[in-house]
Structure formats: structure tokens, C-alpha cells
């Protein structure tokens, strides 16, 4: 081979290596080689009355059935048609990168989870790998459920197993490129035990619940690449695109521009009715119809935790015309009243 051909070849190979290393650096190794996952085991969760009760509470008050059931969106509190709890639906948000279906989790063998093992459900919920080994789109809040204690995980699986099977065929989630490749970096296996944390202190209990439910997924503003804006935890302004009219999420910090006005009674009443003080209706993009199923103890723990947040000055008001906000870069009500 001629010497210059050899040099060219060498340079080309070097270039390929540099590009490959840069691509891995930029997009994450698992974009290319598939998600981290562990093999499934045949472990089973024993059904007990305590687990059934806890599982039902989690499914109905922390969001599982809000996403994983069809709803009558024309009604303000989005009721689930009777008997369709857990039967799956297409998510209503209109700005997702693809068609997103929350699958049928009832034990129907053909269209639901009837043939998926207990460990397949457990791995999906906390580790982000679906029963068919795919990395899931993280609107399924598995990044939050990573810290779900073992006993809560067992409870939810036992409860899902106890549902009546419902036949409800749905297509698979289809995420557009390149998001469907990038999202492979998020799943991580869990091998260590996760014991029940001490939740007797209201602030710790509230922090645990706010994380599990994923309030931040809506209430922390995001940049154009959908990363949380640092220093603005739970400070509102994220736009929820829903068929019944968009809404920006509220600032939940104790700043005067946030929600300093809630006491236990007003907070619990607002979460139960979707109305603040009987005068202002919350947009139903805020899932109060889910949180209303929580106990008073859990709701006041959530408020106790919100009161400890760092106050962030950020005015968001859906009753005012949408204007550009210099703090979060989105267009929301009262945006122009904010200063960097
Ligand atoms: C914000 C909506 C949302 C919430 C809340 C939610 N899910 Fe999901 N879930 C999804 C979506 C969407 C998928 C499918 C993702 C995909 O295929 O990429 C999914 C997938 C799953 C799967 C995997 C199904 C499979 O194919 O293996 C299980 C199991 C599951 N969810 C259980 C739960 C449980 C239990 C809860 C509550 C603790 C819950 N989900 C809460 C939206 C949600
Ligand atoms: C799916 C998105 C979503 C999730 C999840 C969510 N919220 Fe909201 N929330 C909203 C939106 C949007 C609004 C604004 C509603 C309006 O202005 O009408 C809102 C408003 C509120 C308000 C009313 C504030 C006020 O007085 O104006 C409170 C309180 C609240 N959310 C608390 C929570 C808590 C606590 C959680 C978690 C346990 C949570 N939200 C989870 C979307 C969400």
C-alpha cells in the first residue's frame, strides 16, 4: 500500500475514534449499547391484607391510576369509568415527544399484565425497564420510585394482581428519535434492600411523599432540553399542555409570590375540592382529583414540607395574560413581572 494511503487510513480511524468518544461523552454510553438492566428473578410477593390496603392507597392517591386508567376528560374531576381502574390509556398531554400510552396493568392475559411476572412489574416500577426489556419513557415516574421502600413496592404489585382483569388493547408507546435513544441512559438496577424510612416526623414524611408523587416534574421549571432549572426547586412556571386549556404550574415555595397563604385546613380543602378558598378554581392539569384521596395526615405532612422550601421569588398567575418570563424562559401569566 502506498504510504499516503496508509496515513489517510490511520487518520480516518483516528477520526472515527474521536467522534465515537465525543458521542459517548455527549449522549451517554447507554444511548448506543442499550439501558443498564438486571435479569428478572422468579420471586413472588405474598398477598396480605395490609399490603392490599397499602397498595390500593398508593395506586389511587399517588398517581398510578391517574395515568394508567381512561378518564372522562369532559368532567372537571376526570372520573375513571367504573371498572376501568388500571386498564391503561393514552396520556392526554399534547406536547410529548411521541405517542405515550400508560399500559393496562390489570391481570388480563392478552391486553394487560396477566403474563408479566411480579419481578417484571417491580423492575419496571423502580428501575425503568419494561416487561419486554425496553427502557421506558421517564414520564412514567420511575426515577422517583427508585426510593420506594421494598414494602410499598410489594404492596403495589400485590394490589395490581388483585384487580379484576379488564380487556383493553392499547398500542405501545412510541417515542421519536433521538429522545428514544437518549432515554436509555436513565434506568439503573437496584440490588440493595430499601427499608421503610421513619415517617413519624411530618416534614420528613412530606418530603418522602412529594418525591414519590413527583410534584417537581410539574412544579419545577425546566429549560429547553427539559432539565430542571437550578435554584428554582418547586418554584412553578412549567407549562402543562392539556386538551382543556394550558396552565402554568404554581410556585409552591413560601415566598410572598408563592403559596404563603395556606394553613392545614385551607390546603386540605383545596386538594379535596380543586378550589382555593371557594373563590378560585384550579386548572384540572393540577391532579387534585388524585391527591384528594390522601389522608389528612399525609396532606398536612406535604404542606409541612413545602413550608420548609427555600423561598423563590417567581410570580406565576394563570389569570393574567401569558408573557415572557426572564427567570424560566417560558411564556406564562405574570411572566413580565419577574426580574432576573
Ligand atoms: C405520569 C404518568 C404515570 C404515572 C403517575 C405512573 N405511570 Fe406507570 N407508566 C406510564 C407510562 C407512560 C408507561 C409506559 C412507558 C413506556 O412504555 O415507555 C408506564 C409503564 C408502567 C409499567 C411497565 C409496563 C410494562 O410494559 O412493563 C408499570 C408496571 C407501571 N407503569 C406501573 C406504575 C405504578 C405502580 C405507578 C404508581 C406507583 C405508575 N406506574 C405511575 C405512566 C405513568
Ligand atoms: C401533572 C402536573 C402536576 C403535578 C404532578 C402536580 N401539580 Fe400542582 N399544579 C399544577 C398546575 C398546572 C397548577 C396551576 C393550576 C392553576 O393555576 O389553576 C398547580 C397548582 C397547585 C397548587 C395551587 C397553588 C395556588 O394556590 O395557586 C398547589 C397547592 C399544588 N399545585 C400542589 C401540588 C403538590 C403538593 C403536588 C405533589 C403532591 C402537585 N401539586 C403535583 C400541576 C401539577
Tens of pLDDT along 43-78? Answer: 999 999 999 999 999 999 999 999 999 999 999 999
> pLDDT value at position 32?
86
Ligand 2 pocket, residue 168 CB under 6 Å: no
**CB of 316 closer than 6 angstroms to any ligand 2 atom:** no
Average pLDDT over residues 321-328: 96
Pocket test for ligand 1, best of 55, 68, 142 (most atoms within 8 A of CB): 68
Please state, in angstroms and rounded to a whole number, the distance separating the CA atoms of residues 268 and 291. Answer: 9
Measured from CB, residues less than 6 Å from any atom of ligand 1 are 58, 62-64, 67-68, 91, 100, 102-103, 105, 116, 121, 124-125, 130-131, 136-137, 139-141, 145, 156, 173
pLDDT at 278: 81
How many other CB atoms sit within 10 Å of the CB of residue 105?
29
Rg (CA), the chain: 23
Query: Which ligand neighbours the alpha carbon of 267 most closely?
Result: 2
pLDDT at position 326, please?
A: 96
C-alpha span between 208 and 213 (Å, rounded):
9
State mean pLDDT over 162-168: 98
265: CB partners within 8 A, 6+ apart:
none
- Cα distances (Å, whole numbers) of residue 274 to 211, 246, 270, 287, 301: 21, 16, 5, 9, 19
Grid cell listed for 315: 410570580
Mean pLDDT of 9-21: 90
For residue 114, name the pLDDT band (cuts at 50, 70, 90).
very high
Which pLDDT score, from 0 to 100, does residue 160 have?
A: 98
Q: What is the pLDDT of residue 271?
A: 97
Which-ligand-closest: CA of 86? 1
Q: Give, in order, the Cα–Cα distances in Å from 214 to each of 64, 139, 149, 207, 209.
A: 11, 10, 16, 10, 8
Long-range residue pairs from 77-84, CB within 8 A, at least 24 positions apart, any chain = 77/274, 77/284, 77/289, 78/284, 78/289, 83/164, 83/166, 84/166, 84/168
Measure the CA–CA gap between 221 and 240, rounded to whole angstroms.
Answer: 11
Amino acid at each position: 500500500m502506498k504510504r499516503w494511503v496508509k496515513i489517510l487510513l490511520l487518520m480516518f480511524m483516528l477520526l472515527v475514534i474521536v467522534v465515537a468518544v465525543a458521542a459517548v461523552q455527549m449522549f451517554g454510553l447507554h444511548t448506543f449499547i442499550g439501558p443498564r438492566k438486571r435479569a428478572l428473578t422468579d420471586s413472588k410477593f405474598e398477598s396480605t391484607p395490609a399490603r392490599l390496603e397499602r397498595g390500593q392507597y398508593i395506586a389511587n392517591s399517588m398517581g398510578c391510576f391517574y395515568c394508567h386508567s381512561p378518564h372522562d376528560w369532559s368532567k372537571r374531576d376526570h372520573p375513571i369509568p367504573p371498572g376501568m381502574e388500571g386498564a391503561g390509556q393514552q396520556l392526554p398531554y399534547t406536547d410529548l415527544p411521541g405517542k405515550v400510552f400508560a399500559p393496562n396493568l390489570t391481570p388480563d392475559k392478552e391486553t394487560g399484565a396477566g403474563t408479566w411476572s411480579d419481578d417484571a412489574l417491580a423492575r419496571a416500577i423502580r428501575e425503568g425497564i419494561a416487561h419486554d426489556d425496553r427502557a421506558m419513557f421517564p414520564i412514567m415516574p420511575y426515577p422517583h420510585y427508585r426510593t420506594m421502600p421494598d414494602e410499598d413496592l410489594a404492596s403495589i404489585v400485590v394490589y395490581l394482581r388483585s384487580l379484576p382483569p379488564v380487556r383493553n388493547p392499547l398500542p405501545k408507546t412510541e417515542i421519536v428519535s433521538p429522545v428514544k435513544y437518549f432515554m436509555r441512559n436513565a434506568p439503573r438496577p437496584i440490588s440493595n434492600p430499601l427499608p421503610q424510612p421513619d415517617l413519624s416526623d411530618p416534614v420528613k414524611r412530606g418530603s418522602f411523599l412529594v418525591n414519590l408523587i413527583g410534584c417537581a416534574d410539574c412544579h419545577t421549571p425546566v429549560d429547553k432540553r427539559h432539565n430542571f432549572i437550578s435554584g428554582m426547586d418547586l418554584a412553578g412556571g412549567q407549562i402543562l399542555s392539556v386538551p382543556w386549556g394550558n396552565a402554568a404550574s404554581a410556585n409552591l415555595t413560601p415566598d410572598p409570590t408563592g403559596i404563603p397563604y395556606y394553613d392545614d385546613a385551607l390546603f386540605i380543602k383545596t386538594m379535596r375540592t380543586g378550589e382555593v378558598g371557594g373563590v378560585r378554581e384550579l386548572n384540572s392539569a393540577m391532579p387534585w382529583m388524585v391527591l384528594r384521596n390522601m389522608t389528612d395526615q399525609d396532606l398536612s405532612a406535604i404542606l409541612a414540607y413545602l413550608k420548609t422550601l427555600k423561598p423563590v421569588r417567581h410570580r406565576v398567575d394563570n389569570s393574567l395574560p401569558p408573557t415572557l418570563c426572564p427567570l424560566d424562559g417560558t411564556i406564562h401569566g405574570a411572566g413580565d413581572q419577574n426580574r432576573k
